[in-house]
Amino acid sequence: MKRQVRWCAGFIGALVLGGCGGGAGGGGGVLPIPALAATSGATAKDEIVASSTVAGRCAAPRQGIDPDTGATYPDVPGTTSDEKRWLRGWTDETYLWYEEVPRNLVAANYATPIDYFAVLKTSATAPSGRPKDRFHFTYDTAAYRQVASTGVATASYGMELAFLSAAPPRDVRVASAEPGTPAGSAGIGRGAKVLEIDGVDVVNGSDVAALNAGLAPVAAGERHLFKLARPDGSTVVASLVAAGVRSSPTVSARTIDVGGHPVGYLLFNDHNEAAEAQLIAAIRQFKDNGIGDLVIDLRYNGGGLLSIASQLAYMVATPAATQDTTFELLQFNGKNPFQLSEDQTRVPFYGSTRGYSTTPGQPLPQLGLSRVTMLTGPDTCSASESIINSLRGVGVSVNLVGGATCGKPYGYFPQDNCGTTYFTIQFKGVNQQGFGDYSDGFAPNCVVADDLTHDLGDPAEGRLAAALMMLRGGACPTAAKTAIQLEKAASGATPTLWRTPIRENRLIDTLKR
């Protein structure tokens, strides 16, 4: 099967980090398509037809059995024009802002269905001036299903990279590296600065293609030589081989003694299926330890399954707050494209397991907290923001320490057609009080730069230290700055992590609704 996933390759160079669709952090997604001159007078083939009449008509139909369904692939022989017609019809039927999609687009002007999909969206802006729809992207269906269900990336070193300065002199840092992965096993840790890749100078080198090839391996087995400087000044040289790496959704759960008061710290990175069992185990651990306060570190959590977000919110809050209340209400376009009843658009606070990575139907533990602190930043996105908004909607006090979140109150029903899964915004989520207008993100109660000189979960790490100080009754530190900041680069640009767009989502799993 041909690989149709489009990765954002513009990490390094004169226009680095610009133009990558996908998530709020700019990590991955559909590559920017040069704007074509508008053509008037659409042809008959550009007329909008019901998507069902052209669904599965593929230029390169898949053969055999779909391993996810056990049934034969639904594809039949067709053309790229059929695939484009399906996209136009499906967009008109389900896109939240379908009326804002330009009507004078000519499908024949775009080489592939993915190119055409890239322009089938609104050009309107949010109050801040940012594009209202920054989240339009595609994914190879097989790769998407693998990542969504297992958390395994097809080619990764197991480290998250942060671009503090993407133009020369560049500054690329390791935000985190998971143990047991190629990066973690090589002794690469948080705060390390990437100096060279395959002998090319990262800071001022001009061989952009070589740098990008090393930063974003395409396939497992690729080997690239990295030279990095650790925060303590030592140097590490490592030959990293890309592999299928499983992202750990809950990396750390620990109890910290704060003046005799036990405080739980939960590092939570991905709302994937594996998270269900790990979150339950973490919450039970906190209950056993008798914590009175909880700090949830969402700074690098781009979202995922909304059901996982609902479960975590339920386990944090009190029974009174979550009983017969709404976690999130989904608002669609006026066509009610999925023919959902009012009750079906309501996502409750799930009080039992969903069966993602546990036995379904088991009651969830609850901490019964009336307040919670969350560590956030520009990579806190989508389903992670749902936790913040929905807890506030039922009266739980949510204090944010760090930076403003990404601003994505929108979500998708991912749709496969001909081997590509398309993600177009189809709903907006609002909380119990009907609020969901945060397209420019949630502002922190206490602004603290990301401290790359300390490990995540270290009580001395800038954001966690500030949160613990405030829980002791102290004030937000006024000089919460470090020499190495993720929140603000020396150039004044706001750097973010690079990651695949699937990790910056609010997804509804229709099979488990």
Write out pLDDT tens, residues 100-151. 999 889 999 999 999 999 999 999 998 889 899 988 999 999 888 877 666 5
Token match 């980090």: residue? Answer: 17
Per residue, the 3-state secondary structure of 4-57, as one string, reads: CCCCCCCCCCCCCCCCCCCCCCCCCCCCCCCCCCCCCCCCHHHCCCCHHHCCCE
What's the average model confidence in pLDDT over 435-450?
94
> How high is the pLDDT of residue 436?
96
Per-residue pLDDT tens for 227-239? 999 999 999 999 9
Which residues are bridge partners to 266 per DSSP? Answer: 253, 296
Between the CA of residue 32 and those of 20, 118, 217, 425, 445, what are the distances in Å?
6, 8, 20, 18, 35
> Which of these, 384, 379, 387, lies nearest to 501 by C-alpha position?
379
Token match 């996908």: residue? Answer: 22
Which residues are bridge partners to 165 per DSSP? Answer: 171
Question: H-helix or E-strand containing 465?
Answer: helix 462-471
Asked whether the predicted pLDDT for residue 281 surpasses 90, the reply is yes
Asked whether the predicted pLDDT for residue 15 surpasses 70, the reply is no
Asked whether the predicted pLDDT for residue 356 surpasses 80, the reply is yes
Asked whether the predicted pLDDT for residue 324 surpasses 60, the reply is yes
- Rounded Cα gap, residues 460 and 160, in angstroms: 21
Q: What is the CA radius of gyration of the chain?
A: 23
pLDDT confidence tier of residue 497, bands split at 50, 70 and 90: low
- Rounded Cα gap, residues 369 and 113, in angstroms: 48
What's the average model confidence in pLDDT over 264-272?
93
3-state secondary structure (DSSP) of residue 483: coil
- Rounded Cα gap, residues 312 and 327, in angstroms: 11
Between the CA of residue 435 and those of 302, 472, 501, what are the distances in Å?
20, 31, 25
Q: Supply 134's token pair.
A: 């920054």
Is there a contact between 276 and 310 (Cβ–Cβ < 8 Å)?
no
> How high is the pLDDT of residue 277?
95
Per-residue pLDDT tens for 20-75? 233 333 222 222 222 222 333 444 448 899 999 999 999 999 999 998 889 999 99
Per residue, the 3-state secondary structure of 197-229, as one string, reads: ECCEECCCCCCHHHHHHHHCCCCCCCEEEEEEE
- Rounded Cα gap, residues 217 and 195, in angstroms: 18
Asked whether the predicted pLDDT for residue 282 surpasses 70, the reply is yes
> Which of these, 384, 383, 402, lies nearest to 445 by C-alpha position?
402
> How high is the pLDDT of residue 225?
98
> How high is the pLDDT of residue 42?
44
Of residues 4 and 394, the one with the higher pLDDT is: 394
Of residues 147 and 400, the one with the higher pLDDT is: 400
Percent of the chain with pLDDT over 90: 68
Per-residue pLDDT tens for 149-195? 665 666 889 898 888 888 899 999 999 898 899 999 999 999 999 99
Instruction: Walk me through the domains of the chain, giving residue ranges and CATH numbers.
Output: 152-246 (2.30.42.10), 250-408+429-483 (3.90.226.10)
Q: Crossing angle of helices 383-393/306-316, nearest 10°?
A: 40
Asked whether the predicted pLDDT for residue 214 surpasses 50, the reply is yes
Asked whether the predicted pLDDT for residue 268 surpasses 80, the reply is yes
DSSP sequence for 80-99 = HHHHHHHHHHHHHHH-TTGG
Q: Which is it for the CA torsion 217, 223, 226, 231, positive or negative?
A: positive
What's the average model confidence in pLDDT over 378-403?
96
Q: DSSP secondary-structure letter at 191?
A: T
- Rounded Cα gap, residues 329 and 68, in angstroms: 29
Average pLDDT score over the chain: 84
pTM here is: 0.81
Per-residue pLDDT tens for 453-471? 899 999 999 999 999 999 9
> How high is the pLDDT of residue 148?
64
pLDDT confidence tier of residue 479, bands split at 50, 70 and 90: low
Between the CA of residue 427 and those of 82, 312, 333, 436, 464, what are the distances in Å?
26, 21, 7, 11, 33
Of residues 365 and 508, the one with the higher pLDDT is: 365
Asked whether the predicted pLDDT for residue 321 surpasses 50, the reply is yes
- Rounded Cα gap, residues 400 and 378, in angstroms: 12
> How high is the pLDDT of residue 153?
61
Between the CA of residue 7 and those of 124, 216, 345, 402, 501, what are the distances in Å?
25, 9, 32, 29, 9
What's the average model confidence in pLDDT over 264-278?
92
